[in-house]
Structures are given as structure tokens and as C-alpha cells.
Amino acid sequence: MFGVNKVMRDLADGFAKQGYVVVCPDLFWRQEPGIQLTDQTETEWARAFELYKGFDEAKGVDDLLATLAHLRGVKGCSGKVGSVGYCLGGKLAYLMATRSDTDANVGYYGVGIEAGLGEAARIKKPLMLHIAVEDEYCPKPSQRKIAEALGKLPTVTLHSYDRMDHAFARVGGQHYDAAPAQLANDRTAQFFKQHLS
């Protein structure tokens, strides 16, 4: 929810180094194209929440579907495409699993997934969710709903990280924790290798 900032560009570069063709779409282009915020000041947090609250989820998914179609036609793309998202992007990765034909989707500490669980039956391709047990934005009752709705689906893998708070994998963030972040990232890398190769 901070825009295509340095953190997102570094993540994209990391996936590119793993051999993938990568696109990092500007989710807020309808509100403020090119915005780049950090999590380092209260003013930036406030602006990020304004953008988040003003985000049209359905149009955002439409933009991601257009990105998916574009990416499949990019030279070097095998045709198999995955999505990965963090926070708001974590929910969008879930929605890509329910509303698109992406080949694999990964969500990190997705916010609001519990509100979209009515779509769970549409998941046909692999989905992995990384859940921070102490996530203030996805409290334990929401986590239970997610586990109950998705835990038995054969295409879904859920990983919970004890004592971790929201954004534990965001380098430089307040709750960053290197060991569980590495574990989550390794699981994601293996997941994509398995389903996108």
C-alpha cells in the first residue's frame, strides 16, 4: 500500500534474479500515479491509508488481469505466470487465485481475505498464504476464518508464523524479522519453482 517504492522494486529485482520476467504494477495509478511512500513517517502512513481506503478493489483486480495478459505476451515469458503480494497485495494475490487463471499465487499477510472467502471454491490453481499470527491487521478471528475456509482445499497451502506481526518480511520495516522472512521467502521460491517452471 506504499506504491511502487524501493521495497517493491527490490522485491521485483529479487524475483528477476531468480530468472522470472517481472512486472510490478502501480495499483494506485487511478488515484495518484507513481506514488512512492515509505513506512518511516506518520505522514506517509496516513497517505498510504488514504490510498488504501480509496482503492477500488474490483478495478484493481481488472488492472491485474490486464497486467497478467500483457505479461504472458512479453518476450522471455514461458506463458506461466504467478502473482505475489504483500498486505493489500496479499489479498489481491488471493483474488487473483479466485478470479484469474494465474498458475500460482502467493500472499504475504494479506489484509481483508476473510471478506472474500465466499470466492474460495473458485481456486483451481495453487495458492500459498503466509500468515503472521500476531498480525494487527488480520486478527486471530480472521485467521481462524481463513484457516477454516481454505485449510482443507487441496490447492491451498497455509503457513503461520508464530510471534510475527504484520510485514515481518518487509526489509527495513518495524516488524522485520530476518529468520522467518527468509523461511517465507524460501517457501515462496520453492513454490514458484514447482508451479512456474
Residue 135 annotated among the catalytic residues of the structure: yes
Q: How far apart are CA 119 and CA 121, in angstroms?
A: 6
Q: What is the DSSP string of 72-131?
A: HTSTT--S--EEEEETHHHHHHHHHHHHS--SEEEEES-SSGGGGGGGGGG--S-EEEEE
Spot the catalytic one: 130, 166, 175, 177.
166
If one counts every other C-beta atom within 10 angstroms of the C-beta of residue 94, the result is 28
In this structure, the chain runs to a length of 197
Residue 166 annotated among the catalytic residues of the structure: yes
Spot the catalytic one: 130, 135, 175, 177.
135
User: What residues are labeled active site?
Assistant: 135, 166
